[in-house]
Amino acid sequence: MSSYEIDGALWSRVRNAIAFLLLIGVAASVAGAVTEPERFYRSYLVGFLHPTSILLGALFFVMVMHITGSVWSITVRRFHENLIGALPLVAVALVPVVLGIHHLYEWSHAEEVAHDTLLRGKAAWLNPQGFTIRAFIYVAIWSFFALRLVHHSTAQDSTRSIDNTRSLKKYAAPGLFLGFISVSLASFDWVMSLAPHWYSTMFGVYFYAGGGWASFATLVLICLAFRSAGMLRREINVEHYHDLGKWMFALTVFWTYIAFCQYLLIWYANLPEETIWFRNRFVGGWAPMSVALLFGHFFIPFLVLLPRASKRNLKLLRAAALWFLAMHYLDLYWMVMPTFYKDGPSFHWLDLAPLVAVGSLYALGFWMRLKKHAIMAVGDLRLEQALEHHNL
């Protein structure tokens, strides 16, 4: 077991570094909230969505791997389990979004609703009380399934019982269904309702696909960081990185497919209430960012990860993962900010502070869990098979 436990000195150094970043991020965010509240809440929403979508993507990955009986993922699964163990912290990170409802959402203003027939029609769903209640219900659903999955997986480290494997499947199946529905609804509430006159039935899938994309990039970086520290070099080998690269490549294609389908259907219908959302992103300074997303979120990662050798090149895989995370942030920024800045991007130091604060909060939750259990699912009965995994 000693080889699957993190060194105490290393754990303390990293914990202190994360806590320091959290302190800096929170202090800067508070200063921004006091001095520039409008800008703070807008930037905070993007900074909140980026790391939160990564946790949700990790939850999806864990449940899919249990349902499908995936063997290769056993050696890397515990890192994603530690990530989803931080999902209850989303309730804390969500508080500024709730406090900033009137700064962010047009439908929260009674005078706007009174003079807008469409907003009055949506008022039963889009209202501050309903928004707040639903937001914490979403977090409760995610947290429940995440903690049950983590509990049974870590319990198996000592029991090595097949009953834990069965329990994991039992929770993963309904969790995948409820998770998909709740993430879709959360994306509608938190992002799509920024433009309440616009609607898209594919937006939830689009948002979730981006989070899944970024979650695999995060997992690659975590695994490579432990490899650099001299840990899990044999257990997570080039064969496992190859599979992670295949997932990143597949989700690149899937995200593009969903994004294009959403655009194509709206373009084909050519209805003003639908096209306005894209029009706002194809004019002024937003047009170059739209082109950058097309190439940065699809063409570049697609061409880089297409060859088999690329998915087995660890340096290239690390660079691709960092690129993925940057493009995912750009995608979320592109979703949110054109609502407030019609002429083009308006980058600000407050864009960074909330991202650091929320990201560090989740990172601290992730890191604290590494000390409680083995850093790999050592009790899984298929572990030996996973260690010998080989791509054809």
Give the integer Cα–Cα distance in Å for 280 and 102: 22
Counting the structural domains of the chain, the total is 1
What percentage of the chain carries pLDDT values higher than 70? Answer: 99
Residue 279 lies in a domain: yes
Direct distance between the N- and C-terminal alpha carbons of the chain, in angstroms, rounded to an integer: 31
The answer to whether residue 392 sits within a structural domain is no
pLDDT band at 392 (very low <50, low <70, confident <90, very high): confident
Residue 356 domain flag: yes
Q: How many helices (H) and strands (E) does the chain have?
A: 19, 0
The least confident of 12-21, 228-237, 326-335 is 228-237
In order, the DSSP letters of 121-144 are: HHTTTSSHHHHHHHHHHHHHHHHH
pLDDT of 2 reads: 43
Q: Kindly state whether residue 212 falls inside one of the protein's structural domains.
A: yes
Residue 381 in this model has a pLDDT that exceeds 80: yes
- For tokens 């039992």, what's the residue? 170
How much is the pLDDT for 121? Answer: 93
pLDDT value at residue 3: 63
**Is residue 131 included in any domain, yes or no?**
yes
DSSP 297: I
Rounded Cα distance between 361 and 366, Å, is 9
Degrees (nearest 5) of the Cα angle 269, 336, 362?
A: 130
The rounded Cα 198 to chain-centroid distance in angstroms is 23
pLDDT tens per residue, range 363-374: 999 999 999 899
Report the mean per-residue pLDDT for the chain: 95
- Which pLDDT value is given to residue 112? 87
pLDDT band per the 50, 70, 90 thresholds, residue 362: very high
User: Which of 140-144, 160-164, 201-205 tops mean pLDDT?
Assistant: 140-144
- pLDDT digit string, tens, across residues 263-306: 999 999 999 888 999 999 999 999 999 999 999 999 999 999 99
Residue 369 lies in domain: 2-387
pLDDT, tens only, 116-128: 999 999 999 999 9
Confidence band for 199, pLDDT divided at 50, 70 and 90: confident
Per-residue pLDDT tens over the stretch 305-332: 999 999 999 999 999 999 999 999 999 9
The pLDDT assigned to 1 comes to 41
In the structure encoding, which two tokens stand for residue 326, read together?
């940057």
Collect all residues with Cβ–Cβ distance below 8 Å to 41 and sequence separation of at least 6. Answer: 33, 96, 97, 99, 100, 103, 104
